[in-house]
Amino acid sequence: MASQMKQWVLAKRPVGLATVEDFHLVEVPIPNIEEGQALVKTLYLGVAPVMLRYMNNETEFERPLHIGDVMHGRGVGRVVESKCDAFKVGDIVQSKLRWREYAVIQDEPYYLTHTMHNTDLNLSYGVGALGMNGFTAVLGMRDICAVQPGDTVLVSGAAGSVGSMVGFIAKTLGAKTVIGIAGGEKKCRLLTEQLGYDAALDYKSPGLYEKIDKYLPEGIDVFFDNVGGELLDEVLGRINRRARIAICGRISEYLIPPEQYHRPRNLYRIGLKDAKMEGFFIYDYAKNHHEYEHQMAQWIREGKVKPYEDISVGIEHMPHALISLYQGTNGGTRMVRVDPSAH
Ligand SMILES: NC(=O)c1ccc[n+]([C@@H]2O[C@H](COP(=O)([O-])OP(=O)(O)OC[C@H]3O[C@@H](n4cnc5c(N)ncnc54)[C@H](OP(=O)(O)O)[C@@H]3O)[C@@H](O)[C@H]2O)c1
């Protein structure tokens, strides 16, 4: 085993969108483990829009990140040494590995570590379809929106990691029409040609709301929202009776100060239409992890969910991978294969 490893530390706080200069790649010795710990070789690391907020210590659920600390993040790895009963050498784990080639983990709730069961499928799925983003799609679409046969479904952020799985799930549950919103022609083609959407609406070209009316003339039964802001407000203006809205994210407002947040005018329609709108956070549903894994693995094996991945090879690519989420240059689940030999 090598004696040195690479890791990314926070060099400075980002101003607006992060830049490569906000991070610093350093080489350090691979750590020794103590009693109760395991050493994990990182195979894949995911990126998520929320990481920009970790860099500014803006979330309540992640430990503070100081300048010089290793960047927070989840990934998939193989246990290579263990002094902990919970993890055996050879186990494939999903955990808060952080942006580093080897990670020390402990059997503590903070790490939200799960041993992957379906390791015959691609291990990269542990970052996407069989990880937090896939489970977010199941929780939002199957459990919170409880899609019924015949429903009309609209999804924002549809070509991203979560959105790329939401459309498949809606169709699998019997939705009549599933429409995705994404930025640009290329992503819209991806939605209809590879991600199971019936139609795609480009929010970067004019007339988005007219297009929603055209494609969903009967109104909206289910809205899975990754974007928030004005779009959510406009959708509220078009919901049907007993509509269900899953508030998954609000990326359109992550980089602006609260005084610039859109003030919705159509909230009254939740009451008027006896609708439900619910926010949720996947970490609160950790106890369901293996049920979600089983469900998604089954749908993948049946060809009902086709994971779409956007993979760079080499830990050097981590900052670019994160920045791409805000530039919209990713498609499906953006991740980095840290160990080039991982399958
Ligand atoms: N509730 C939970 O537990 C949970 C769990 C995971 C993720 N999330 C949230 O779910 C959302 C999607 O996460 P993800 O990991 O799947 O990311 P992602 O969708 O793979 O990447 C972000 C996408 O957002 C779009 N975007 C960026 N800036 C935007 C803007 N100003 N307005 C509209 N769209 C913008 C871009 O797509 P376009 O090119 O199409 O604009 C980009 O590709 C995020 O809001 C995230 O915070 C929530």
The answer on pLDDT for 121 being more than 90 is yes
Q: What is the pLDDT of residues 293-329, one digit of tens each?
A: 999 999 999 999 999 999 999 999 999 999 999 998 9
Q: What is the pLDDT of residues 199-216, one digit of tens each?
A: 999 999 999 999 999 999
Q: Chain-centre distance of CA 163, in angstroms?
A: 8
Q: What is the model's pLDDT at position 343? A: 81
The closest alpha carbon to 80, from 42, 114, 39, 111, belongs to 39
User: Exposed, middle or buried: residue 337 (CB in 10 Å: 0-12, 13-18, 19+)?
Assistant: buried
Q: What is the model's pLDDT at position 116? A: 96
Average pLDDT of span 329-340: 95
Tell how far the Cα of 156 is from the centroid of ligand 1, in angstroms: 9
Return the bridge partners of 313, or none: 337
Q: Is 40 in the pocket of ligand 1 (CB under 6 A)?
A: no
The answer on pLDDT for 1 being more than 80 is no
**Mean pLDDT over the full length of the chain:** 97
DSSP per-residue codes, 239-304: EEEEEEEEE---GGGTTS-GGGS---S-THHHHHTT-EEEE--GGGGGGGHHHHHHHHHHHHHTTS
Q: Which of 145, 154, 165, 226 to mutate to test the pocket of ligand 1 (most atoms within 8 A of CB)?
A: 226
Average pLDDT of span 138-159: 98
Q: What is the pLDDT of residues 30-85, one digit of tens each?
A: 999 999 999 999 999 999 999 999 999 998 889 999 999 999 999 999 999 999 99
Q: Is 121 in the pocket of ligand 1 (CB under 6 A)?
A: no
Strand spans (E) along the chain: 4-10, 23-29, 37-46, 75-82, 92-95, 102-106, 114-115, 152-155, 177-182, 199-202, 220-225, 239-247, 276-279, 309-313, 333-337
Q: Chain-centre distance of CA 265, in angstroms?
A: 28
Q: What is the pLDDT of residues 242-275, one digit of tens each?
A: 999 999 999 999 989 999 999 999 999 999 999 9
3-class SS shares of the chain: helix, strand, coil, % to 5 = 30, 25, 45
pLDDT band at 117 (very low <50, low <70, confident <90, very high): very high
Q: Is 322 in the pocket of ligand 1 (CB under 6 A)?
A: no
pLDDT band at 2 (very low <50, low <70, confident <90, very high): confident
Q: Is 164 in the pocket of ligand 1 (CB under 6 A)?
A: no
- Helices then strands, counting H and E runs in the chain, come out as 9, 15
Q: What is the pLDDT of residues 163-196, one digit of tens each?
A: 999 999 999 999 999 999 999 999 999 999 999 9
Tell how far the Cα of 222 is from the centroid of ligand 1, in angstroms: 18
Ligand 1 atom with the shortest distance to the CA of 133 = 6
Q: Is 136 in the pocket of ligand 1 (CB under 6 A)?
A: yes
Q: Where are the domains of the chain?
A: 4-128+307-337, 132-282
Q: What is the model's pLDDT at position 212? A: 98
Give, for 320, the enclosing helix (H) or strand (E): helix 318-327
Instruction: Enter the CATH code of domain 132-282.
Output: 3.40.50.720
Ligand 1 atom with the shortest distance to the CA of 282 = 3
The pTM of this model reads 0.95
Instruction: Enter the CATH code of domain 4-128+307-337.
Output: 3.90.180.10
